[in-house]
Amino acid sequence: MLAFLVVGLLLAACSAEPSGDDKIRALVTEPVDGAAMPAHLPSRLPRFDAGTTVAAEQPVLATEQEVRVTGGNSPVMAMPDSRFSMTEKGRFRQPRAMAFLNEDLLLVAEFPRTLKLMRVADGSVHRVTGVPDEYFINSLADVVAHPNFSENETVYLCTIVRGASGRDSLGVKRARLILGQDGIYYLVGLQDVVASIAGFPSQEYGCRMAFGRDGKLYISGPFRGGTQSLTLDDGKIFRVEDDGRVPADNPFIELNDYYAKYFWSLGHRRPDAMAADATGRVWVLEHGGNAADELNLLERAGNYGYPIAAKDSPTLPQHETQPSFIAPKLWWRDRIGPASMIVHSGRMFPELQGNALISGELVSSIIHVKLSGDEVSEISRIGMLRPIKEIEEAPDGSVWAMESGAEARLWRLAPSLN
Protein backbone atom coordinates (compact mmCIF):
# COMPACT_ATOMS: atom_id res chain seq x y z
CA MET A 1 0.00 0.00 0.00
CA LEU A 2 2.80 2.39 0.81
CA ALA A 3 6.00 2.68 -1.15
CA PHE A 4 7.60 4.33 1.79
CA LEU A 5 6.38 4.77 5.33
CA VAL A 6 8.13 6.95 7.81
CA VAL A 7 11.73 5.79 7.65
CA GLY A 8 13.96 7.86 9.80
CA LEU A 9 11.97 9.71 12.39
CA LEU A 10 13.83 9.41 15.68
CA LEU A 11 17.65 9.41 15.84
CA ALA A 12 19.95 8.11 18.56
CA ALA A 13 20.85 10.89 20.96
CA CYS A 14 24.50 11.25 20.08
CA SER A 15 24.59 10.56 16.34
CA ALA A 16 23.59 12.84 13.49
CA GLU A 17 23.82 10.17 10.80
CA PRO A 18 22.14 6.75 11.03
CA SER A 19 24.17 3.58 10.88
CA GLY A 20 23.68 -0.02 11.88
CA ASP A 21 21.28 -0.46 14.79
CA ASP A 22 20.86 3.30 15.07
CA LYS A 23 18.76 3.50 11.90
CA ILE A 24 15.07 4.11 12.14
CA ARG A 25 13.08 1.05 11.12
CA ALA A 26 9.53 1.07 9.76
CA LEU A 27 7.85 -2.25 9.06
CA VAL A 28 4.74 -2.53 6.94
CA THR A 29 2.66 -5.62 7.62
CA GLU A 30 -0.86 -6.11 6.28
CA PRO A 31 -2.42 -2.87 5.00
CA VAL A 32 -5.05 -1.36 7.25
CA ASP A 33 -7.52 -0.90 4.43
CA GLY A 34 -8.81 -4.34 3.46
CA ALA A 35 -6.45 -6.01 5.94
CA ALA A 36 -6.37 -9.78 6.04
CA MET A 37 -8.11 -11.24 9.08
CA PRO A 38 -9.33 -14.56 10.45
CA ALA A 39 -12.32 -15.94 8.57
CA HIS A 40 -14.62 -15.80 11.59
CA LEU A 41 -14.27 -12.02 11.98
CA PRO A 42 -16.85 -9.62 10.56
CA SER A 43 -15.64 -6.54 8.75
CA ARG A 44 -17.28 -3.90 10.96
CA LEU A 45 -17.80 -3.05 14.60
CA PRO A 46 -21.38 -3.20 15.86
CA ARG A 47 -23.19 0.11 15.70
CA PHE A 48 -24.42 1.94 18.75
CA ASP A 49 -28.03 1.17 19.63
CA ALA A 50 -29.53 4.46 20.75
CA GLY A 51 -32.41 2.57 22.31
CA THR A 52 -30.22 0.78 24.83
CA THR A 53 -31.00 1.72 28.44
CA VAL A 54 -29.11 1.05 31.64
CA ALA A 55 -30.00 1.31 35.30
CA ALA A 56 -29.71 4.82 36.70
CA GLU A 57 -26.51 5.57 38.63
CA GLN A 58 -26.33 7.96 41.57
CA PRO A 59 -24.17 10.98 40.71
CA VAL A 60 -22.16 12.97 43.20
CA LEU A 61 -21.39 16.68 43.07
CA ALA A 62 -17.93 17.79 42.10
CA THR A 63 -16.18 19.40 45.05
CA GLU A 64 -15.59 23.12 45.22
CA GLN A 65 -11.92 23.99 45.16
CA GLU A 66 -10.41 27.31 46.16
CA VAL A 67 -7.34 27.91 44.00
CA ARG A 68 -4.47 30.16 44.93
CA VAL A 69 -1.76 30.61 42.34
CA THR A 70 1.63 31.90 43.48
CA GLY A 71 3.22 32.17 40.05
CA GLY A 72 2.62 32.08 36.33
CA ASN A 73 0.54 34.46 34.28
CA SER A 74 -2.97 33.34 35.22
CA PRO A 75 -5.07 34.84 38.01
CA VAL A 76 -7.76 32.35 39.00
CA MET A 77 -11.42 33.11 39.68
CA ALA A 78 -13.53 30.72 41.69
CA MET A 79 -16.26 28.89 39.77
CA PRO A 80 -18.84 26.88 41.73
CA ASP A 81 -18.09 23.26 40.89
CA SER A 82 -21.60 22.33 42.02
CA ARG A 83 -22.61 22.91 38.39
CA PHE A 84 -21.03 19.53 37.66
CA SER A 85 -22.23 16.11 38.77
CA MET A 86 -19.89 13.12 38.64
CA THR A 87 -20.88 9.51 38.06
CA GLU A 88 -18.40 6.67 38.44
CA LYS A 89 -18.45 4.56 35.28
CA GLY A 90 -15.76 1.97 36.00
CA ARG A 91 -12.32 1.21 37.43
CA PHE A 92 -9.04 0.47 35.69
CA ARG A 93 -5.52 -0.54 36.72
CA GLN A 94 -2.79 1.97 35.94
CA PRO A 95 -4.46 3.58 32.91
CA ARG A 96 -2.29 5.45 30.45
CA ALA A 97 -4.72 6.83 27.88
CA MET A 98 -8.24 6.56 26.49
CA ALA A 99 -10.16 7.52 23.36
CA PHE A 100 -13.82 7.51 22.37
CA LEU A 101 -14.42 5.61 19.13
CA ASN A 102 -18.15 6.37 18.91
CA GLU A 103 -21.12 6.93 21.21
CA ASP A 104 -20.80 3.49 22.78
CA LEU A 105 -17.13 2.49 22.60
CA LEU A 106 -14.33 3.82 24.81
CA LEU A 107 -10.81 2.45 24.26
CA VAL A 108 -8.55 2.39 27.34
CA ALA A 109 -4.81 1.59 27.52
CA GLU A 110 -3.51 0.14 30.79
CA PHE A 111 0.04 -0.54 31.95
CA PRO A 112 1.94 -2.47 30.79
CA ARG A 113 0.40 -3.29 27.39
CA THR A 114 -3.29 -3.96 27.83
CA LEU A 115 -6.06 -2.51 25.69
CA LYS A 116 -9.63 -2.62 26.95
CA LEU A 117 -12.85 -1.57 25.31
CA MET A 118 -15.76 -0.30 27.39
CA ARG A 119 -19.33 -0.45 26.11
CA VAL A 120 -20.81 2.77 27.44
CA ALA A 121 -24.40 1.54 27.12
CA ASP A 122 -24.03 -1.32 29.61
CA GLY A 123 -20.68 -0.59 31.29
CA SER A 124 -19.15 -3.90 30.17
CA VAL A 125 -15.37 -3.99 29.66
CA HIS A 126 -13.71 -6.27 27.10
CA ARG A 127 -10.04 -7.02 26.56
CA VAL A 128 -8.67 -6.39 23.06
CA THR A 129 -6.61 -9.16 21.45
CA GLY A 130 -3.70 -8.48 19.10
CA VAL A 131 -1.74 -5.83 20.99
CA PRO A 132 1.90 -5.77 19.73
CA ASP A 133 4.10 -8.21 21.66
CA GLU A 134 7.37 -6.28 21.84
CA TYR A 135 8.90 -5.79 25.28
CA PHE A 136 7.23 -2.58 26.44
CA ILE A 137 9.13 -0.40 28.88
CA ASN A 138 6.41 2.12 29.64
CA SER A 139 3.50 0.38 27.95
CA LEU A 140 1.08 1.93 25.54
CA ALA A 141 1.62 5.62 26.17
CA ASP A 142 -1.27 6.90 24.06
CA VAL A 143 -4.22 5.81 21.92
CA VAL A 144 -6.21 7.87 19.42
CA ALA A 145 -8.89 7.09 16.87
CA HIS A 146 -8.62 8.06 13.21
CA PRO A 147 -10.87 11.06 12.45
CA ASN A 148 -12.79 8.80 10.05
CA PHE A 149 -12.99 5.88 12.45
CA SER A 150 -16.65 5.28 11.59
CA GLU A 151 -15.51 4.41 8.06
CA ASN A 152 -12.07 2.81 8.47
CA GLU A 153 -12.16 1.57 12.11
CA THR A 154 -8.49 2.52 12.50
CA VAL A 155 -6.81 3.27 15.82
CA TYR A 156 -3.27 4.50 16.57
CA LEU A 157 -1.02 3.35 19.42
CA CYS A 158 2.05 5.22 20.65
CA THR A 159 4.35 2.63 22.22
CA ILE A 160 7.48 2.66 24.34
CA VAL A 161 9.64 -0.35 23.50
CA ARG A 162 13.08 -1.77 24.13
CA GLY A 163 14.89 -2.54 20.89
CA ALA A 164 17.50 -5.19 20.14
CA SER A 165 20.22 -2.84 21.40
CA GLY A 166 18.51 -2.63 24.81
CA ARG A 167 17.69 1.07 24.53
CA ASP A 168 14.26 2.63 24.95
CA SER A 169 12.43 3.91 21.89
CA LEU A 170 9.04 5.17 20.87
CA GLY A 171 6.98 4.31 17.84
CA VAL A 172 3.49 4.74 16.44
CA LYS A 173 1.44 1.83 15.10
CA ARG A 174 -2.01 1.62 13.57
CA ALA A 175 -4.52 -1.19 13.12
CA ARG A 176 -8.20 -1.90 12.55
CA LEU A 177 -10.28 -2.67 15.63
CA ILE A 178 -13.05 -5.16 14.95
CA LEU A 179 -15.41 -7.46 16.82
CA GLY A 180 -15.16 -11.16 16.00
CA GLN A 181 -18.11 -13.52 15.76
CA ASP A 182 -16.66 -15.16 18.87
CA GLY A 183 -17.40 -11.96 20.82
CA ILE A 184 -13.73 -10.97 21.11
CA TYR A 185 -12.36 -7.60 19.98
CA TYR A 186 -9.29 -7.81 17.73
CA LEU A 187 -6.59 -5.53 16.37
CA VAL A 188 -5.92 -6.62 12.78
CA GLY A 189 -3.65 -5.38 9.99
CA LEU A 190 -1.16 -3.94 12.48
CA GLN A 191 1.55 -1.83 10.88
CA ASP A 192 4.19 0.66 11.98
CA VAL A 193 3.54 4.26 11.07
CA VAL A 194 6.81 5.41 12.67
CA ALA A 195 9.37 3.37 14.60
CA SER A 196 12.72 4.00 16.27
CA ILE A 197 15.46 2.52 18.46
CA ALA A 198 16.70 5.93 19.60
CA GLY A 199 17.70 5.89 23.27
CA PHE A 200 16.41 8.33 25.87
CA PRO A 201 16.06 8.51 29.67
CA SER A 202 13.35 6.72 31.60
CA GLN A 203 10.11 8.69 32.09
CA GLU A 204 11.08 11.29 29.47
CA TYR A 205 9.14 9.77 26.63
CA GLY A 206 6.63 12.20 25.24
CA CYS A 207 4.83 9.76 22.93
CA ARG A 208 1.53 11.66 22.83
CA MET A 209 -0.58 12.08 19.71
CA ALA A 210 -3.31 14.29 18.29
CA PHE A 211 -4.95 14.63 14.90
CA GLY A 212 -5.14 18.19 13.66
CA ARG A 213 -8.05 19.64 11.70
CA ASP A 214 -5.76 19.31 8.67
CA GLY A 215 -5.97 15.53 8.98
CA LYS A 216 -2.29 15.22 9.91
CA LEU A 217 -1.04 13.26 12.92
CA TYR A 218 1.04 15.24 15.43
CA ILE A 219 3.40 13.24 17.69
CA SER A 220 5.51 14.47 20.60
CA GLY A 221 9.08 13.20 20.73
CA PRO A 222 11.27 12.28 23.71
CA PHE A 223 13.34 14.64 25.81
CA ARG A 224 17.12 14.34 25.97
CA GLY A 225 19.32 17.30 25.19
CA GLY A 226 19.31 18.02 21.46
CA THR A 227 16.09 19.97 21.29
CA GLN A 228 17.67 22.78 19.21
CA SER A 229 19.28 20.46 16.64
CA LEU A 230 17.52 19.59 13.39
CA THR A 231 19.62 16.43 13.12
CA LEU A 232 18.38 15.02 16.44
CA ASP A 233 14.86 13.85 17.17
CA ASP A 234 14.29 14.98 20.76
CA GLY A 235 12.35 18.08 21.76
CA LYS A 236 10.38 18.05 18.51
CA ILE A 237 6.78 17.78 17.42
CA PHE A 238 6.51 15.47 14.42
CA ARG A 239 3.83 15.82 11.75
CA VAL A 240 2.95 12.98 9.40
CA GLU A 241 0.12 11.87 7.15
CA ASP A 242 -2.25 9.28 8.62
CA ASP A 243 -0.24 6.53 6.89
CA GLY A 244 3.17 7.87 7.92
CA ARG A 245 4.15 9.73 4.76
CA VAL A 246 5.84 13.12 5.02
CA PRO A 247 3.43 16.03 4.34
CA ALA A 248 4.58 18.18 1.46
CA ASP A 249 4.16 21.37 3.50
CA ASN A 250 6.32 20.36 6.48
CA PRO A 251 8.69 23.27 7.15
CA PHE A 252 12.05 21.52 6.99
CA ILE A 253 11.41 19.19 4.07
CA GLU A 254 13.68 21.20 1.77
CA LEU A 255 16.67 20.52 4.01
CA ASN A 256 16.78 17.03 2.49
CA ASP A 257 17.72 15.74 5.93
CA TYR A 258 17.10 12.14 7.00
CA TYR A 259 15.09 13.31 10.02
CA ALA A 260 14.24 17.01 9.80
CA LYS A 261 11.59 16.53 7.13
CA TYR A 262 9.24 15.09 9.78
CA PHE A 263 9.62 18.00 12.23
CA TRP A 264 6.90 20.62 12.66
CA SER A 265 8.42 22.53 15.60
CA LEU A 266 11.37 22.35 17.98
CA GLY A 267 12.67 23.56 21.33
CA HIS A 268 10.13 21.65 23.44
CA ARG A 269 11.09 20.22 26.82
CA ARG A 270 8.61 17.36 27.25
CA PRO A 271 5.21 17.67 25.56
CA ASP A 272 2.82 15.38 27.42
CA ALA A 273 -0.53 16.40 25.96
CA MET A 274 -1.82 17.87 22.70
CA ALA A 275 -5.22 18.94 21.41
CA ALA A 276 -6.61 20.72 18.34
CA ASP A 277 -9.27 23.40 18.55
CA ALA A 278 -12.12 24.07 16.11
CA THR A 279 -10.11 26.70 14.23
CA GLY A 280 -7.33 24.24 13.42
CA ARG A 281 -4.80 25.40 16.00
CA VAL A 282 -2.87 22.72 17.88
CA TRP A 283 -2.05 23.27 21.56
CA VAL A 284 0.73 21.53 23.47
CA LEU A 285 1.04 21.07 27.24
CA GLU A 286 4.64 20.67 28.46
CA HIS A 287 6.51 19.68 31.62
CA GLY A 288 8.83 22.45 32.67
CA GLY A 289 11.32 20.48 34.76
CA ASN A 290 12.79 23.00 37.20
CA ALA A 291 11.01 25.77 35.28
CA ALA A 292 7.29 26.44 34.85
CA ASP A 293 4.92 24.00 33.18
CA GLU A 294 3.74 25.53 29.91
CA LEU A 295 0.81 25.69 27.49
CA ASN A 296 2.11 26.44 24.00
CA LEU A 297 0.39 27.15 20.70
CA LEU A 298 2.07 25.30 17.85
CA GLU A 299 3.38 27.30 14.91
CA ARG A 300 4.92 25.98 11.73
CA ALA A 301 8.73 25.88 12.22
CA GLY A 302 8.26 27.43 15.66
CA ASN A 303 11.13 27.31 18.16
CA TYR A 304 10.00 27.26 21.80
CA GLY A 305 13.39 27.94 23.30
CA TYR A 306 14.41 24.99 25.43
CA PRO A 307 17.12 24.64 26.72
CA ILE A 308 18.19 28.19 25.92
CA ALA A 309 15.13 29.93 27.38
CA ALA A 310 12.33 28.85 29.72
CA LYS A 311 9.60 30.46 31.80
CA ASP A 312 10.35 31.02 35.50
CA SER A 313 13.59 29.04 35.32
CA PRO A 314 16.15 29.64 38.09
CA THR A 315 19.00 29.13 35.59
CA LEU A 316 17.75 29.92 32.07
CA PRO A 317 16.84 33.31 30.55
CA GLN A 318 13.20 34.23 29.98
CA HIS A 319 11.72 34.06 26.48
CA GLU A 320 11.46 37.85 26.40
CA THR A 321 15.27 38.07 26.30
CA GLN A 322 15.37 35.83 23.23
CA PRO A 323 13.01 37.30 20.61
CA SER A 324 13.54 34.43 18.17
CA PHE A 325 11.80 32.03 20.57
CA ILE A 326 8.04 31.63 21.04
CA ALA A 327 6.87 32.21 24.61
CA PRO A 328 4.13 30.06 26.18
CA LYS A 329 0.58 31.38 26.20
CA LEU A 330 0.11 30.21 29.79
CA TRP A 331 2.43 28.84 32.44
CA TRP A 332 2.37 27.53 36.00
CA ARG A 333 5.23 28.14 38.42
CA ASP A 334 3.46 25.88 40.91
CA ARG A 335 3.82 22.78 38.78
CA ILE A 336 0.74 20.84 37.72
CA GLY A 337 2.56 17.82 36.22
CA PRO A 338 0.90 17.97 32.77
CA ALA A 339 -1.05 14.84 31.91
CA SER A 340 -3.93 15.48 29.49
CA MET A 341 -5.97 18.14 27.74
CA ILE A 342 -8.98 18.57 25.48
CA VAL A 343 -10.60 21.52 23.75
CA HIS A 344 -14.31 21.24 24.43
CA SER A 345 -16.92 21.45 21.67
CA GLY A 346 -19.56 23.13 23.86
CA ARG A 347 -22.02 20.25 23.57
CA MET A 348 -23.68 19.75 26.97
CA PHE A 349 -21.56 22.63 28.38
CA PRO A 350 -22.06 25.72 26.18
CA GLU A 351 -19.90 27.82 28.50
CA LEU A 352 -16.92 25.56 27.72
CA GLN A 353 -17.10 25.90 23.94
CA GLY A 354 -13.61 26.42 22.54
CA ASN A 355 -12.03 26.27 25.99
CA ALA A 356 -9.42 23.81 27.22
CA LEU A 357 -9.76 21.36 30.08
CA ILE A 358 -6.38 20.35 31.46
CA SER A 359 -5.30 17.76 34.02
CA GLY A 360 -2.05 17.19 35.86
CA GLU A 361 -0.72 14.42 38.04
CA LEU A 362 0.34 16.91 40.73
CA VAL A 363 -3.11 18.48 41.20
CA SER A 364 -6.46 16.93 42.13
CA SER A 365 -8.46 19.08 39.74
CA ILE A 366 -9.40 19.75 36.14
CA ILE A 367 -8.17 23.16 35.04
CA HIS A 368 -10.54 25.27 32.92
CA VAL A 369 -8.55 27.49 30.53
CA LYS A 370 -10.10 30.12 28.26
CA LEU A 371 -8.80 30.07 24.68
CA SER A 372 -10.16 33.14 22.91
CA GLY A 373 -8.00 34.38 20.06
CA ASP A 374 -4.73 35.45 21.64
CA GLU A 375 -6.37 35.66 25.08
CA VAL A 376 -5.44 32.64 27.17
CA SER A 377 -6.16 32.52 30.89
CA GLU A 378 -7.02 30.07 33.63
CA ILE A 379 -10.64 30.53 34.69
CA SER A 380 -11.18 27.98 37.44
CA ARG A 381 -10.47 24.48 38.69
CA ILE A 382 -12.97 21.67 39.02
CA GLY A 383 -12.13 19.81 42.21
CA MET A 384 -11.65 16.05 41.81
CA LEU A 385 -10.97 13.37 44.39
CA ARG A 386 -7.59 12.37 42.97
CA PRO A 387 -5.21 13.53 40.22
CA ILE A 388 -6.54 12.90 36.70
CA LYS A 389 -4.43 11.00 34.21
CA GLU A 390 -6.64 11.46 31.14
CA ILE A 391 -9.57 13.62 30.02
CA GLU A 392 -11.80 12.95 27.02
CA GLU A 393 -14.98 14.47 25.68
CA ALA A 394 -17.68 11.93 24.81
CA PRO A 395 -19.71 12.40 21.62
CA ASP A 396 -22.62 13.71 23.73
CA GLY A 397 -20.39 16.44 25.21
CA SER A 398 -19.98 14.94 28.69
CA VAL A 399 -16.47 15.03 30.14
CA TRP A 400 -14.86 11.73 31.12
CA ALA A 401 -11.99 11.88 33.58
CA MET A 402 -9.74 8.93 34.42
CA GLU A 403 -7.81 9.00 37.69
CA SER A 404 -4.20 7.90 37.86
CA GLY A 405 -3.05 4.95 39.93
CA ALA A 406 -3.52 1.22 40.43
CA GLU A 407 -7.27 1.45 41.15
CA ALA A 408 -8.27 4.36 38.97
CA ARG A 409 -11.88 5.46 38.87
CA LEU A 410 -13.42 6.64 35.62
CA TRP A 411 -15.80 9.57 36.12
CA ARG A 412 -18.41 11.07 33.83
CA LEU A 413 -19.03 14.78 34.41
CA ALA A 414 -22.38 16.20 33.37
CA PRO A 415 -24.37 19.31 34.33
CA SER A 416 -25.69 19.12 37.87
CA LEU A 417 -29.43 18.67 38.26
CA ASN A 418 -29.43 20.90 41.33
Whether 79 and 110 have beta carbons less than 8 Å apart is answered as no
Whether 26 and 194 have beta carbons less than 8 Å apart is answered as yes
In this structure, is residue 25 part of a structural domain? no
In this structure, is residue 65 part of a structural domain? no
Edge-to-edge strands of the sheet including 185-194?
95-100, 105-110, 114-119, 125-129, 185-194, 168-179, 154-162, 136-145
Whether 196 and 233 have beta carbons less than 8 Å apart is answered as yes
Pairing of strands 84-92, 95-100: unpaired
> How much is the average pLDDT of 372-376?
88
* pTM for this predicted structure: 0.83
Confidence of residue 417 (pLDDT cuts 50, 70, 90): confident
Work out how many domains the chain is built from and give that number.
Answer: 1
> How much is the average pLDDT of 360-378?
94
Confidence of residue 291 (pLDDT cuts 50, 70, 90): confident
Of 113, 209, 94, nearest in space to 162 by CA: 113
**Residue 37: other Cβ atoms inside 10 A:** 17
| Residue 29, pLDDT score | 31
pLDDT at 2 over 60: no
pLDDT at 57 over 80: no
Of 193, 188, 204, nearest in space to 13 by CA: 204
Q: What is the pLDDT of residues 139-157, one digit of tens each?
A: 789 999 999 999 999 999 9
For 8-22, 174-188, 235-249, which range has the lowest pLDDT when averaged over its residues?
Answer: 8-22
| Residue 165, pLDDT score | 60
Report the SS3 class of residue 394. Answer: coil
Distance in angstroms (rounded) separating the CA atoms of residues 92 and 408: 5
Look up residue 46 and give its DSSP letter: P
In this structure, is residue 63 part of a structural domain? no
In this structure, is residue 58 part of a structural domain? no
- The CATH code of the domain that includes 383 is 2.120.10.30
In this structure, is residue 57 part of a structural domain? no
In this structure, is residue 240 part of a structural domain? yes
Distance of CA 363 to the CA centre of its chain: 19
Range of the domain at 405: 79-415
Distance in angstroms (rounded) separating the CA atoms of residues 337 and 364: 11
| Residue 167, pLDDT score | 64
In this structure, is residue 394 part of a structural domain? yes
| Residue 55, pLDDT score | 36
Torsion, Cα 192 198 199 201, to 10 degrees, reads: -70
Q: Which residue has the higher pLDDT, 403 or 51?
A: 403
Distance in angstroms (rounded) separating the CA atoms of residues 400 and 55: 19
Instruction: Give me the amino acid identity at 251.
Output: P
In this structure, is residue 2 part of a structural domain? no
